[in-house]
Structure 1
Amino acid sequence: MTNREIPSNNQQLKSEPTKNKLLQQLLIVVSIGLFIGFMRPFGMDQFTLLLSMSYWVFTCVCGYLIYMPLINLGHKYLAKSVTTLWQRVAISSLLASLIMSLIVPFIGWLFFEQTLHLADNFLLALPNTLVIGSIITFISMLQNHVDHQKQQLEQSQHVIEQSKKVIERHQQNNDINALQIEQFMALLPLEKRGKLLCLEMDDHYLKVHTDKGQHMLLMRLKDALMQLEGFPGLQTHRSWWVANHAVVSVNKENRKMSLLLTNHLEVPVSRTFVEAVKANLAL
């Protein structure tokens, strides 16, 4: 089987914010500002509710316009030296908090005509910007995570639908099995593509085991089995499927059965699938 580059429509979607995503995030930030303004923390109960809300909405929007670009730049320029996501975000957020702490005194001057003592104001503002900036950053990252999962699921469904159409056009072709596995393997990174050994359901993710390693996909097992219909293999458990060629031996202990695979993985066989496994492996 030849490894091919994944078509551009199947490549991992870029994380740069689109116009709609930017508007969604700004709406969340404005909502946070309204909520904080309503609570009137940090001694702001002496001001009117309208002034408090206006101040916090303006401050949160300014914070977003500082934090998000710096976090994106952090991902772009720190990816090689700082490989862990949360560490890059922490470094970028700290830098953004320092900048924001210089801006907050000017916002206070704009809204409340406070006297500017930049050094003192900076030290007073820094703890608050660290807390509020962390909240805004966490919510934005959470939304990005949810959006990424949704995109992964849509991408998987798209590949499945495309492969179904291709299979329908090649029903009389002897290479249909190779075509099926190639379409499925297109979901994996190039370095993980190889001989398919087994599939393992792990919570909401599908762990695909090949002779080159393993990779997690956001896909249901039954969708994967539909994709691999016709490929020589068998389901051994509600959470497991194995390729016939991957089975090295059958282990029986008391009334329990398991299959040893070429990658030294021991796959359980549940009672529901025992007879089917025996028939498939001619036991």
Structure 2
Amino acid sequence: MSADASKPPLLGTAREWTIDLSVAVVIGILLGLMGPFGSFFNDGPAVRVAYWVCSVVFGMVLFGTLTRLGTAGAARLGFPDWTALPVVILLGTVLLGAPIRLFAIAFWPAVVEAVPLPAWFGQCLAISAPLVVGSYFLRARQVGPASARPAVVPSLKSGPSEATPSADAGNVLYLRMEDHYVRIRTEHGSRLEMGPLARVTAMLSGVEGLQTHRSWWVARRAITGVERDGRNLRLRLVDGETAPVSRASVAKLRAAGWLADDAD
């Protein structure tokens, strides 16, 4: 088993996409029956439902992909993943609006061509924004209860097994946030645990280590050196990775003697 075999797919699991697309179909049917933005008068219910189902499914695929990529990218940069949502909504609205307009023109050419482009993209934004935000927070609520399960405690106390690499507290080299997961890197490999970084570090109270960044915790013995790039510092680790050091953590690490060589 490779060290990264337990990493969840960046773009989501088949189960997640099945749920997303099922929800999109239901929303599309409801919109088709309600006929928002004047579409109620465009055609019969069957045509409206077909249009809205196709539009919402296409939008779910687009926004679902952008949201997963955006939130993962924000987390890797050390920002809360929700900070990617405004960019996702604006970019997705632009990418969604053009093809959906062409699709609508195929159904109702005279009606749609009479709608100015600003109004059209405004309508796309009005539908997309609540769906993206609602989907994000629903997924966050699902992660929250799961992260409360005592999954980390037994694994930190257990030895190596065929199913997972050892995550014994004495073998932990560093922890790194990856979206809603914490990667536990040990001497024997790595694996992911769902939950916040603080909950996992709480299980390592007997290990000499410090949080160097909002998304990193590093054991003292995992450090092989310090790299400086202007005002930015990074810790070289035994496995070849480098851990970022936030400016807020510099004083704390220097007081602990971790940055004795950073002036070199």
Match of 2:144 in 1: 149
Aligned-residue offset at 1:15: 5.2
| Corresponding residue for residue 85 of structure 2 | 89
- d(CA) in 1 for partners of 2:210, 2:127: 41
Mapped partners of 1:16, 1:144: distance in 2: 14
**Equivalent residue number for residue 108 of structure 1:** 104
Q: TM-score, normalised by structure 1?
A: 0.50
Q: Residue 124 of structure 1 aligns to which amino acid in structure 2?
A: A
Preserved CA contact (<8 Å) 1:105 1:116: yes
CA distance in 1: counterparts of 2:133 and 2:13, whole angstroms: 19
What RMSD in Å do the two structures reach over aligned CA positions?
Answer: 4.2
For residues 202 and 64 of structure 2, the distance between their equivalents in structure 1, rounded to whole angstroms, comes to 34
Q: CA, structure 1 residues 126+109, in 2 after alignment: closer, same or farther (shift >3 Å)?
A: same
Q: Which of the two has higher C-alpha Rg?
A: 1
Of residues 11, 20, 45, the one that matches 2:15 is 20
Seen in structure 2, the aligned counterparts of structure 1 residues 17 and 97 have a Cα distance that, compared at 3 Å, is same
Task: Quote the residue 1:32 is aligned against.
Answer: 27
CA contact (8 A) 1:82 1:88 kept: no
- Residues 149 and 84 of structure 1: is their aligned pair in 2 closer, same or farther, counting only changes over 3 Å? closer
Deviation at 1:160, TM superposition (A): 2.5
Shift of 1:121: 4.2
AA of the residue aligned to 2:96 = M
CA gap 1:111/1:43 in 2 versus in 1, 3 angstroms: same
Any idea what the Cα deviations from partners look like across 1:100-134, whole Å, max 9, x if unmatched? 1212221211222347759x643121111112111
Deviation string 1:156-214 (CA, Å, 9 cap, x unpaired) is: 33753784x76xxxxxxxxxxxxxx838x97x9479x9xxxxxxxxxxx8994948679
Per the alignment, do residues 133 and 80 of structure 1 end up closer, same or farther by CA in structure 2, a change over 3 Å counting? same
Q: Which residue of 2 aligns with 1:67?
A: 63
Query: For 2:64 and 2:22, how far apart are their aligned partners in 1?
Result: 14
Distance 1:21 1:190 in 2: 24
CA contact (8 A) 2:11 2:65 kept: no
Residue in structure 2 matched with residue 52 of structure 1 by the alignment? 48
- Normalised to the residue count of structure 2, the TM-score between the two structures is 0.53
Q: 1:48 to 1:117 in 2, by over 3 A?
A: closer
**1:129 corresponds to:** 124
Q: Give the 5 Å matches for 1:128-207.
A: 128-153=123-148, 156-157=150-151, 159-160=153-154, 163=157, 182=169, 189=175
| Shift of residue 59, structure 1, vs aligned partner | 1.1
Q: 1:82 to 1:98 in 2, by over 3 A?
A: farther
Q: Which residue of 1 aligns with 2:236?
A: none
Quickly say closer, same or farther: Cα 1:80–1:121, change in 2 above 3 A: farther
- Post-superposition shift, 1:51? 2.2
Residue 42 of structure 1 aligns to a residue whose secondary structure is: helix
- 1:72 Cα shift? 2.8
Matched with 2:231 is none
| Partner Cα distance (2:37, 2:9) in 1 | 39
In structure 2, distance between residues paired with 1:123 and 1:213: 51
Match of 2:11, SS? coil
Taking the aligned partners of 1:61 and 1:33, their CA distance within structure 2 comes to 8
Structure 1: runs of 5 or more not aligned: 1-6, 167-180, 194-204, 215-283
C-alpha spacing 1:76/1:121, structure 2 compared with 1 (3 Å): farther
Closer/same/farther in 2, CA of residues 56 and 190 from structure 1, 3 Å limit: closer
1:102/1:122 contact within 8 Å kept:
no
5+ residue gaps, structure 2: 160-167, 178-183, 185-198, 212-264
Moved more, 75-84 or 62-71: 75-84
